[in-house]
Amino acid sequence: MAKRRYFAWSPLRAIMATVGAKIVAREAVGFLIEHLEAKALDMTVRALTFARHAKRKKITKDDISLVIKGI
């Protein structure tokens, strides 16, 4: 069974094309997708820690912002 992907291939290709990468190997896009998914999962876990510390169940923009800032 194939691993479920949370990021779609075509939108990432479109993003890459906007900066001039017109030809990109499928393997490169797949690798980028894996990296982005891992990063998103890690950031979500860290944001959830902030939300729980504030005695909330909902992750807010501020929680994500703190994660991005690296606090």
How confident is the model over 13-24, as pLDDT tens digits? 999 999 999 999
Q: Which amino acid is at 60?
A: T
Contacts of 36 (CB under 8 A, 6+ apart): 7, 12
Domains along the chain with CATH numbers:
9-69 (1.10.20.10)
Neighbours of 47 (CB within 10 A): 20
Angle between helices 26-53 and 9-18 (to 10 degrees): 100
Question: pTM of the full predicted structure?
Answer: 0.82
How confident is the model over 33-48, as pLDDT tens digits? 999 999 999 999 999 9
Do residues 29 and 22 touch, judged by C-beta distance below 8 A?
no
